[in-house]
Structure 1
């Protein structure tokens, strides 16, 4: 276990229908580097994964969204899947929680359909980003520059396309958290 992220606490914001690997792999990578990771979810004690083609296992929730404070975290990760970000992008509390990380210039990472949350939070405009291909036009409509790359970093914002990109995604997320706050205002 490395100590690169010792003393750092990261929130993973998710709800039912998150792509399992997009929560479990970043969580494990962050913990291997010494970070404390909290799964944050609205109104539940556990959330159920989507495992590629069917419902997967349930994961314990460490903090309910109503009890979570962005000031207590060093970074935010938003896993994809189809159902998870679609539900979160309609949750005002989830959008405000997300915006707080941008206001504080803290690292944020989103993969697959996760950028939907960023669009609805109003923080995608002017950003260079990637996502699952079906989210490309949504990001362009929100004022982002969309590129087809396995991982894109834009001043502390890390985005990736799909589970195949997780190794690069986790590596850049760890790098951005280790760097800390970013001098350029996110939003």
Structure 2
């Protein structure tokens, strides 16, 4: 893993406790938490959290992260909450949503850690091949989704399968982040 940056997808209805935890916890380890989203040609967008409707301003677009820039990242995280559902939107129903294309590019890089927690698994619906045959955990409500993607569900709070780390719920963000940090530290 070349970089010290972690790309964390963000959109409205994010789980505030999880996102705030990543912001501070990764910084403690000398890692840069880079919150990325689809900015729709704008310089920034302010998203609102799910529980407290806390504002979160995002200035980075995953659409601007080309393959060379992706080398600067140690991990890509798809967080819990409704983030992944909102990022699955595409105006062209015959094309993959841009966030799913970004995720596909991340999965094509074995040296880049991929972290998916809780309902983040929804972002894989248009690209189930990235999870086919992989061991993972997820929110109990997504057990059927995981099986439909061809993944093997493991009833644990955090599951590691090569370059994929999954967490059961946003309330397990501390365990999930610990696993990512440990892997990045080598």
TM interval, shorter chain, is 0.7 to 0.9
Contact 2:14/2:83, CA 8 A, preserved across alignment: yes
Contact map agreement 2:3 2:73 (CA 8 A) in 1 = no
Out of 145, 153, 159, the residue aligned to residue 146 of structure 1 is 153
8 Å contact from structure 2 (residues 79, 170) kept in 1: no
Q: Answer whether contact 2:136 2:166 (CA < 8 A) is retained.
A: yes
1:16-165 matches, within 5 Å, as: 16-43=12-39, 44-51=44-51, 55-69=52-66, 70-81=70-81, 83-91=82-90, 92-105=97-110, 106-122=112-128, 123-165=130-172
What 5-or-longer segments of structure 2 have no aligned partner?
91-96
The alpha-carbon deviation at position 153 of structure 1 amounts to 0.6
Deviation digits for residues 108-165 of structure 1, max 9, x if unmatched? 1111100111333331111111111111100101100012211001102111111331
Report the CA distance between 1:28 and its aligned residue. Answer: 1.8
Identify the residue that residue 183 of structure 1 maps to in structure 2: none
Alignment partners' CA distance in 1, 2:83 and 2:120: 8
Contact 1:85 1:114 (C-alpha < 8 Å) held by counterparts? yes
Aligned partners of 1:99 and 1:74: how far apart in 2?
A: 16
TM-score by length of 1: 0.83
**1:90/1:121 CA distance change after superposition, 3 Å:** farther
Does the Cα contact within 8 Å between 1:39 and 1:60 map onto a contact in 2? Answer: no
**2:93 matched residue in structure 1:** none
Deviation digits for residues 21-74 of structure 1 (CA, Å, limit 9, x no counterpart): 2222123211110011211011242221112xxx42111213023223334422
Q: TM-score, normalised to structure 2's length?
A: 0.83
Q: Kindly state the Cα deviation for residue 6 of structure 1 after the two structures are TM-superposed.
A: 10
Corresponding pairs, count: 171
